[in-house]
């Protein structure tokens, strides 16, 4: 009975996708920027006429340049220093007597804010949003006001690339003295079935006047088609100078439930009024669902769901940390194509836009607070602010995100060093867990534990509802036996390194390669990582495990292991011994968004639509002619047949014909693993073509052919979308491929490609996915890496028409692509 009581926890939700105040103004336009110390820049009369003009969000570090004097652990980019932002604006007389607030969704970091020379506040953590009431510092006579922001990000503030600058949106809000608080709505559903959804709506009202106010709180609910489906209201007394809680509920009959397959959404307009006067309006989009978990499973709307998850850092490659909703949307589209249904935000709260996209696409999220507590991993990590800000930052993360349907767990930390402190760690975990429950009882708590068995023997893992195990696949059975009451999942799994399109022969596990790239046979990495096959095997052997989150979905800037450094050992030194290696190698997808071979192995396990993938490429070089090379096939078909230059190499049956994988990692004695999760043939290399044919139930379903390419002769351009919004925010991603004269892809091409853009947009980023390229992300040219490059185009605000991108390279036939802006 105790086991049942401890391990079963029922959660019922209705969630917010986004919230919008009627009084808010996007404050991103027309800022001035200076990247250096500027004495007196907080004063309104400071001369900023020669400062750079720009719009937010903005990441100054991504502009570069790459340099070996910067830490490769953080991307070999200038993420530290001082940056100033100033904005001049006027306030109308009609705003006097109202409450004016400025909100920063995220600024990296050590943010200090002044208005008209008056210090209004500061916030050190770069990943959390915050606001300040600036009413009393403003002039309302139409004359100029100045807001000044100073940021002082530091080296070794993160173990990866954090970015620098005001990299998320800023908002200005003008409210009546009685208004809805920041992040002031919270929706849950005590009942969520196909017959009825009971929507419980909690609202926090602020009264900054000197009198109590009798107000009406009205909620009007709409379905996805905009049809009103319910309405309720409550009259309350808003106490002067206080926050007042309002709580109502309503029934929505026959609701469309939110889940990972059908992310059905509703919206509600919350209005506060005094008599006939409307004081504030707040829009929230939400979904209705139920989740349940036990120590043996995780359920959404009473149906079990396994986490096919990935860890993701917050940068978007060539765009750096600056938030573009389309960048997150594209990233998640690629992940969903791989079969992903869940994201662990490593290791910090994500942007609002990221969660919006997850809500809209039906992707589950573990929302993580920070990477460490008081014991440091690196000298300027979150440890320097945990004692003062740890509780507040965790609280604000929950208040901001607690109504998102995508968020399914609160993570109180990752690989916390306090795991090794038997008298300290569990107490801190207990305190942080209580904070989560204080602000949201509707979700379980979690953390990523890499210490085994220490975190469990020291009573720390038991303080959260669901324990995350980092790289402990071989211990899943032992964990279940010793701690049967704990719900468990793989919070970081696999973690092998690779470079897209790189194949080193013979196939062997090495520490480093002179090329600074890593073979895509997926056997190389730090001592604690292993091929995906190992996790698949132990997940199957231990069905009580709730699923996995691979390390990582995408490559990310910084943390260049196996090059430059190793984990947290080199705390006080640059990871620059292997410069120009400046990005991670862990992703199933490279930094530009191009899938590596590993992407297709996950797709073969996590998706049902017939697919087949073949590796390596067939331009292996004269030195390998006649040499035996392993050819791998990833497929979800029953069997596959390989042909080399038209000759059959035989059929193989998936799950029966095994492939021997080289393995060598901690806590696992065998040096190989016979994998049922891929098919392979050892064949002599001869230029020409290899082809694989997939079969289901004995019938041909699909095939894949790779031909030996000739010399590069032409450029091919393809765009992810031919029409984008003319809002100045939307993006188009253009893939550059190098082909031979017959249209075959050239897998070793490294041509320099030059871009020309005209029309209603501009070029905002270029990349090629190489972890060692030091070319600028913001140049108008890029070398392709193993045949591919990427150009990112941004629409011009308010300009409808056509963006024209031309790509050319010496000796190659150029190409053009058109994108309409509407």
* Active-site residue list: 415, 492
Tokens encoding 145: 């006001």
Close Cβ partners of 675 (under 8 Å, ≥ 6 residues apart): 531, 533, 537, 658, 659, 660, 661
Residues β-bridged to residue 683? 629
Tokens encoding 673: 């693993």
Determine the Cα–Cα distance for residues 53 and 29; give it in Å rounded to an integer.
9
Residue the block writes with tokens 């940390």: 321
* Contact indicator for 654, 641 with CB cutoff of 8 Å: no
What phi and psi, each to the nearest 5 degrees, are found at residue 113?
Answer: -125, 130
DSSP state of 595: B
Determine the Cα–Cα distance for residues 212 and 232; give it in Å rounded to an integer.
23
* Contact indicator for 312, 355 with CB cutoff of 8 Å: no
* Contact indicator for 402, 438 with CB cutoff of 8 Å: no
Determine the Cα–Cα distance for residues 769 and 776; give it in Å rounded to an integer.
13
Determine the Cα–Cα distance for residues 123 and 151; give it in Å rounded to an integer.
10
Close Cβ partners of 812 (under 8 Å, ≥ 6 residues apart): 712, 713, 714, 715, 738, 751
Residues β-bridged to residue 682? 630
Residues β-bridged to residue 694? 640, 702
Determine the Cα–Cα distance for residues 633 and 596; give it in Å rounded to an integer.
13
Bond prior to 562 in cis (omega within 30° of 0): yes
**DSSP reduced 3-state for 130:** strand
What phi and psi, each to the nearest 5 degrees, are found at residue 252?
Answer: -115, 115
**DSSP reduced 3-state for 428:** helix
**DSSP reduced 3-state for 407:** strand
């Amino acid at each position: 009975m105790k086991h049942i009581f401890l391990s079963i926890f029922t959660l019922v939700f209705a969630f917010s996708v986004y919230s919008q105040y009627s009084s808010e103004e996007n404050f991103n336009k027309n800022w001035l920027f200076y990247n250096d110390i500027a004495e007196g820049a907080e004063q309104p009369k400071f001369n900023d006429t020669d400062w750079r003009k720009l719009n937010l969000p903005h990441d100054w570090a991504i502009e570069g340049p790459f340099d070996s004097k910067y830490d490769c652990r953080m991307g070999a980019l200038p993420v530290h220093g001082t940056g100033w932002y100033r904005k001049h604006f006027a306030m109308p007389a009609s705003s006097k007597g109202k409450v004016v607030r400025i909100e920063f969704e995220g600024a990296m970091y050590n943010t200090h804010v002044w208005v008209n020379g008056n210090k209004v506040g500061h916030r050190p953590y770069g990943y959390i949003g915050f606001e300040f009431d600036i009413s009393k510092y403003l002039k309302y006579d139409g004359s100029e006001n100045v807001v000044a922001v100073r940021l002082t990000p530091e080296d070794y503030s993160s173990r990866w690339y954090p970015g620098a600058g005001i990299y998320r949106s800023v908002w200005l809000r003008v409210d009546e003295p009685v208004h809805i608080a920041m992040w002031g709505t919270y929706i849950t559903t005590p009942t969520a079935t196909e017959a009825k959804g009971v929507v419980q709506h909690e609202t926090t009202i602020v009264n900054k006047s000197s009198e109590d106010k009798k107000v009406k709180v009205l909620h009007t609910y709409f379905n996805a088609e905009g049809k009103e489906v319910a309405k309720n209201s409550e009259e309350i007394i808003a106490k002067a100078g206080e926050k007042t809680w309002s709580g109502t509920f309503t029934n929505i009959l026959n609701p469309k439930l939110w889940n990972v397959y059908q992310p059905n959404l509703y919206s509600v307009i919350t209005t506060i009024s005094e008599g006939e006067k409307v004081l504030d309006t707040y829009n929230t989009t939400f979904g209705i669902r139920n989740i349940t978990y036990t120590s043996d499973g995780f359920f959404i709307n009473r149906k079990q769901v396994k986490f096919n998850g990935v860890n993701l850092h917050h940068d978007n490659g060539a765009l750096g940390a600056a938030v573009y909703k389309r960048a997150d949307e594209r990233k998640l589209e690629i992940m969903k194509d791989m079969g992903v249904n869940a994201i662990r935000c490593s290791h910090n709260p994500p942007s609002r836009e990221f969660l919006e996209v997850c809500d809209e696409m039906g992707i589950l999220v573990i929302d993580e607070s920070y990477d460490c507590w008081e014991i440091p991993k690196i000298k300027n990590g979150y440890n320097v602010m945990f004692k003062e800000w740890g509780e507040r930052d965790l609280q604000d993360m929950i208040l901001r995100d607690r109504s998102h349907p995508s968020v399914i767990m609160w993570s109180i930390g990752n690989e916390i060093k306090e795991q090794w402190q038997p008298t300290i760690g569990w107490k801190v975990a207990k305190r942080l867990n209580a904070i989560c429950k204080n602000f949201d009882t509707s979700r379980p708590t979690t953390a990523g534990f890499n210490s085994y068995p220490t975190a469990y023997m020291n009573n720390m893992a038991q303080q959260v509802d669901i324990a995350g195990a980092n790289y402990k696949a071989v211990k899943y059975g032992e964990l279940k036996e010793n701690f049967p009451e704990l719900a468990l999942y793989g919070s970081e799994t696999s973690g092998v390194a690779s470079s897209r399109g790189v194949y080193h022969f013979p196939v062997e596990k090495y520490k480093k390669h002179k090329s600074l790239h890593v073979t895509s046979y997926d056997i190389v990495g730090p001592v604690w990582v292993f091929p995906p096959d190992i996790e698949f095997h132990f997940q199957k052997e231990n069905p009580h495990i709730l699923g996995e989150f691979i390390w990582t979905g995408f490559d990310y800037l910084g943390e260049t292991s196996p090059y430059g450094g190793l984990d947290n050992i080199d705390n006080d030194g640059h990871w620059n011994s292997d410069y120009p290696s400046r990005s991670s190698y862990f992703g199933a997808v490279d930094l530009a968004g191009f899938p590596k071979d590993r992407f297709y192995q996950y797709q073969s396990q996590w998706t049902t639509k017939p697919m087949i993938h073949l590796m390596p490429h067939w331009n292996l070089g004269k030195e390998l002619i006649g040499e035996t090379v392993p050819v791998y096939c990833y497929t979800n078909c029953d069997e596959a047949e390989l042909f080399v230059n038209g000759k059959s190499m035989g059929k193989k049956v998936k799950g029966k014909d095994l492939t021997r994988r080289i393995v060598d990692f901690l806590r696992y004695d065998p040096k190989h693993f016979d994998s049922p999760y891929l098919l392979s043939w050892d064949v002599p290399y001869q230029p020409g073509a290899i082809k694989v044919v997939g079969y289901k139930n004995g019938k041909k379903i699909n095939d894949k052919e790779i031909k030996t390419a000739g010399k590069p002769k032409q450029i091919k351009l393809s765009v992810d979308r031919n029409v984008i919004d003319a809002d100045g925010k939307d993006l188009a991603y253009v893939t550059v491929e190098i082909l031979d004269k017959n249209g075959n892809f050239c897998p070793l091409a490294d041509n320099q490609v030059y871009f020309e853009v005209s029309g209603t947009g501009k070029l905002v980023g270029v990349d090629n996915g190489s972890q060692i390229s030091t070319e600028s992300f913001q140049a108008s040219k890029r070398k392709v890496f193993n045949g591919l490059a990427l150009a990112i185009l941004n629409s011009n605000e308010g300009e409808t028409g056509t963006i024209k991108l031309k790509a050319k390279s010496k000796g190659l036939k150029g190409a053009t692509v058109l994108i309409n802006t509407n």
